[in-house]
Amino acid sequence: MRFVDSADGTRIATYEEGNPGGPVVVLVHGWPDSHDMWDATVPYLADTYRVIRYDNRGSRNSGVPKKVSSYTMAHYADDFAAVVAALAPGEKVHVLAHDWGSVGIWEYLSRPESVDRVASFTSTSGPSADHTRRYIMDGLKRPDRPVRFLRSVSQFLRLTYQGFFSIPLVARVLVRATVPTIIPQLLKRLDGMSDNQIRHSDTFATDAANSLKVYPANYWRTLFKGRRDHYVNVPVQVIVNRGDQFVRPHLYDETPQWVPQLWRRDIESGHWSPMSHPELLATAARELAEHVAGAEQTRALQQAQVS
């Protein structure tokens, strides 16, 4: 484990493994997880890649800033920038990210310097906050297009739990008391996972409570603020989990207008596909990484190409 200081001084715990001379792939987790979530994914990458993981601020061994404003996606983007600057200076890295970790990478990709630091990005269950806002708000303005309107309503309603998670103190107390039991039950009942597929650290309850500030820092901002246009100029692959309880597949339908180099794979999975489908995610990320490095597209990657 090595610590890296982010732009605001928050210490970020990082972990390296795999092929020390290989290209770099960075794995970024979301809430309420830690770097442990990727334990089953790493073996499918470590033979070729130098794998870097880190704990998001508020999780596991990383620092826990007190201010809610310290958990905006801009700070998540700063954390990623600090990690790659310290551990992969001068290199372009490949990224595989989930949930809020993925949202933070989308934020980083809005920065001009991202094209020089990110070679490819594979995202699952964590769309751009700007794209989410546009999809919801644009659809709500079109009751004359009932299908599009109802899909926006559906997606908006599926994010309302974030409003509850934004309530000071109350949400933290309830999350700390219930999440360690509820999340594993959800993974078993809704996603059909077994105990050995669930990758949570022994500090899971504390991590969930400490990093909960990501919701009040970003929920209202996602819905009512942000960029009108968020174009991304690096190769992006979205792994769309058909059974995701929070991010519906149609949310990605308009992503091609913002991402000129886009691949999309729809899979039968719930929200936590890094736990339920680690080999599939690793293979998808590897195929895109190899292609942008000059290899021919695999048949699966060709079929996934959107633009």
214-228: pLDDT as tens digits? 999 999 887 777 787
Q: 108 CB contacts (<8 Å, ≥6 apart)?
A: 76, 77, 80, 81, 114, 118
Residue 168 confidence class, pLDDT cut points 50, 70, 90:
confident
Task: Quote the pLDDT of residue 182.
Answer: 87
Residue 141 confidence class, pLDDT cut points 50, 70, 90:
very high
Residue 33 confidence class, pLDDT cut points 50, 70, 90:
very high
> How many Å apart are CA 96 and CA 227, to the nearest integer?
24
Q: Give me 57's structure tokens.
A: 């601020």
Task: Quote the pLDDT of residue 123.
Answer: 98
Domains identified in the chain, total number: 1
**Mean pLDDT in residue range 237-245:** 96
Q: Give me 164's structure tokens.
A: 């509850």
- The type of residue at 85 is A
Can you list the alpha helix ranges (DSSP code H) found in the chain?
73-87, 99-108, 129-140, 146-158, 161-165, 170-189, 204-210, 214-224, 273-276, 278-292, 299-304
Residue 176 confidence class, pLDDT cut points 50, 70, 90:
confident
Lowest-confidence range among 63-77, 142-156, 169-183? 169-183
pLDDT digits (tens, 9 = 90+) for 260-298: 999 999 999 999 999 999 999 999 999 999 999 999 999
Bond preceding residue 32 cis, omega within 30 of 0: yes
The boundaries of the domain holding residue 212 are: 2-304
Q: Which pTM was predicted?
A: 0.95
What's the CATH code of the domain at 286? 3.40.50.1820
- The type of residue at 294 is G
State the chain's mean pLDDT as an integer. 94
Lowest-confidence range among 59-68, 113-122, 195-204? 195-204
